[in-house]
Structure 1
């Protein structure tokens, strides 16, 4: 059998230390670009392929140092932002998953630093390479894009107001929306009102909700029975009330459970007078509302797995090919959407 080409072979050909070759093959940002290109070019020329057994052993050693402390990851928040209360939503399940995989996940508040570059220096000093980033609000202040991304492996959790170039783990909002429309139709409802709502400024997934709702109306609802989709801002209570009183739907497909509260404020009973199905359900907050789960735990857990996988593949900075890992819809059966089928 042909002998496997080793990193030592590459180092000998180039007159470099084996440690330099090892770092270059992992795209370490501390290695000069010219050296990276020389090493990787020679690796291709010699037909170098990593040894899976050795790679796995190295990963285990890296993930659990002799000190037992484990490799450190950071979960970024920014307490200055308007949606800061949502930043920690995925932290607990992510931390538990990280610890189960031999890593420590630390909360890291960007508000404590004068700039993203200053925050980056602290992260580097602490030896933190992997970053989990929840959805940040649209802001004219410090931006994630100001961070020297080449020094880190980054995975973003959920979709927000800012389009990011890093790998993303999020619910499949298009399929979530389609699932709710199908469920409502299959349970026998005819006059279906879609309170799809939107954000100001537009959120990344607003278009997916609207597109899936428009497609579902076209596919499932006869033209004469279609109610115009409500796409005003998600906090526009007055706009919703006007739309609701005008069209009197027998069921409302709501973007968020806030709409459920608005309906109750009109004096209607749910589900006796009007049924409700939500595109984003949090059972711990509104256990009675039926719809698709927001999957907070799954986002955090899957985000950690995706981050560790990217780190194992030595992915630094902005990936050449962005991966978007979409979680399939999971239905939650509350009490607000009884079947009308006989």
Structure 2
């Protein structure tokens, strides 16, 4: 045995060492100094389980249970928004947790979510898709539905589509969802301004896609229409076009096109006054008015969501490749120079993420503050770009006084 070691162990402790507290076992070689007492008049140091930016130790559900005077299992249910706990008791326990500075462990939360998903087998967990398309009208939500169904299946859920016209009424649909113990509801795009406030959502996690559903106000996943217009303008300028115009129908403007119109108008207002192009918003599909407008505007690129404007522009001599036909969606049957892919499958998948997130957090019913998730668009080119020469654009006719459709 080393003599130095033996002598040090057998030497008597100094008075100062005897008075100091014993060091921690895991840090025997480095004594930990005692915490200084707070100065007179200063606030006391926070104790374990009190709110602070850096608590001395993590607050546990047991601490919350002791402070709230309830069982630990009750605390867990309250923090997870379990409907078995009354609203008043749930808020009281959550307030206690907030005052104590409780912070959930993100790794434990992720693990718990995985366990919940595993327990919900595809046979037992269903998300209902509601199609409200009236009889005789075409359904435009196929891509949304496909993307949503694929995402739900990949996360362990199955989907089932219900057509409201076949079910008969919203009240009967409510009974079907209750009888089948459905966990979530996805409202697909509605073809008209339909009111679905009769839906019983208190036991459902719900969301919708696009901006078409106005009532009730649900969280939604949407195409980023504003960024889609900005993308179209940026790409057209890169390809040499300098006179792009936006054409739209008034009913589209009131539902979707405000985002397109806002992006186009914002871009246009930054141009010199002599370079600003007029937009064309039509409420009646008046071909004569469009012919007068396009002869005055003389665009080299037309951006629209309606193929009628491409057809009319071609009849007036404004044809590709010198005039770029740019569609704001990939649904047009008319051949276009460029298209904006709205990524509807990704939008449907994002709506499912909203619903499953609510399920994991035990959130049901109408949200106090609905969320909107935006999915960006993609650019598609179908024809070689030919930057237009000024002489290639049809010459403007003699000035006319009819400019009522210009904005």
Give TM-score scaled by structure 2 length. Answer: 0.69
Name the counterpart of 2:362. Answer: 314
Q: Deviation of residue 258 (structure 1)?
A: 4.1
Counterparts in 2 of 1:184-263, with a 5 A limit? 184-199=236-251, 202-203=254-255, 205-220=256-271, 222-233=272-283, 237=287, 239-263=289-313
Taking a change above 3 Å as real, the CA distance of residues 45 and 212 of structure 1, as seen in their structure-2 partners, is closer
- Whether the aligned pair in 2 keeps the contact of 1:76 and 1:107 (CA below 8 Å) is yes
1:32 corresponds to 2:86? yes
| Secondary structure of 1:196's aligned partner | strand
Q: Select the structure of larger CA radius of gyration.
A: 2
1:295 corresponds to 2:343? yes
Q: Deviation of residue 60 (structure 1)?
A: 2.6
CA distance in 1, matches of 2:348, 2:113: 22
1:6 corresponds to 2:57? no
Taking a change above 3 Å as real, the CA distance of residues 259 and 161 of structure 1, as seen in their structure-2 partners, is farther
Taking a change above 3 Å as real, the CA distance of residues 35 and 85 of structure 1, as seen in their structure-2 partners, is same
1:107 aligned to which of 147, 151, 161: 161
Counterparts in 2 of 1:27-176, with a 5 A limit? 27-29=81-83, 31-65=85-119, 69=123, 71-80=125-134, 85-139=139-193, 143-160=195-212, 162=214, 165-176=217-228
Q: Deviations over 1:191-247 (max 9, x none)?
A: 4332133316821x3222222222222224x43343421111385555434433443
CA distance in 2, matches of 1:108, 1:315: 23
- Whether the aligned pair in 1 keeps the contact of 2:321 and 2:337 (CA below 8 Å) is no
CA distance in 2, matches of 1:230, 1:193: 8
Taking a change above 3 Å as real, the CA distance of residues 144 and 227 of structure 1, as seen in their structure-2 partners, is same
- Whether the aligned pair in 1 keeps the contact of 2:121 and 2:157 (CA below 8 Å) is no
1:275 corresponds to 2:324? yes
- Whether the aligned pair in 2 keeps the contact of 1:24 and 1:39 (CA below 8 Å) is yes
Q: Deviations over 1:61-112 (max 9, x none)?
A: 3323375536221222113278651133311121112111211122122334
Taking a change above 3 Å as real, the CA distance of residues 78 and 298 of structure 1, as seen in their structure-2 partners, is same
CA distance in 1, matches of 2:64, 2:159: 37
Computed over aligned residues only, the root mean square deviation of the Cα atoms, in angstroms, reads 3.4
Q: Deviation of residue 253 (structure 1)?
A: 1.7
CA distance in 2, matches of 1:234, 1:31: 56
5+ unaligned residues in a row in structure 2: which ranges? Answer: 1-55, 390-407
CA distance in 2, matches of 1:164, 1:289: 39
- Whether the aligned pair in 2 keeps the contact of 1:196 and 1:209 (CA below 8 Å) is no
Paired residues in the alignment total 334
Taking a change above 3 Å as real, the CA distance of residues 248 and 3 of structure 1, as seen in their structure-2 partners, is closer
The higher-RCO structure (CA 8 Å, 6+ apart) is 1
Q: Deviations over 1:10-31 (max 9, x none)?
A: 399545693x554433334454
5+ unaligned residues in a row in structure 1: which ranges? Answer: none
- Whether the aligned pair in 2 keeps the contact of 1:70 and 1:102 (CA below 8 Å) is no
| Secondary structure of 1:85's aligned partner | coil
| Secondary structure of 1:281's aligned partner | coil
Taking a change above 3 Å as real, the CA distance of residues 67 and 305 of structure 1, as seen in their structure-2 partners, is closer
Q: Deviation of residue 8 (structure 1)?
A: 9.6
Give TM-score scaled by structure 1 length. Answer: 0.81
Q: Deviation of residue 162 (structure 1)?
A: 2.6
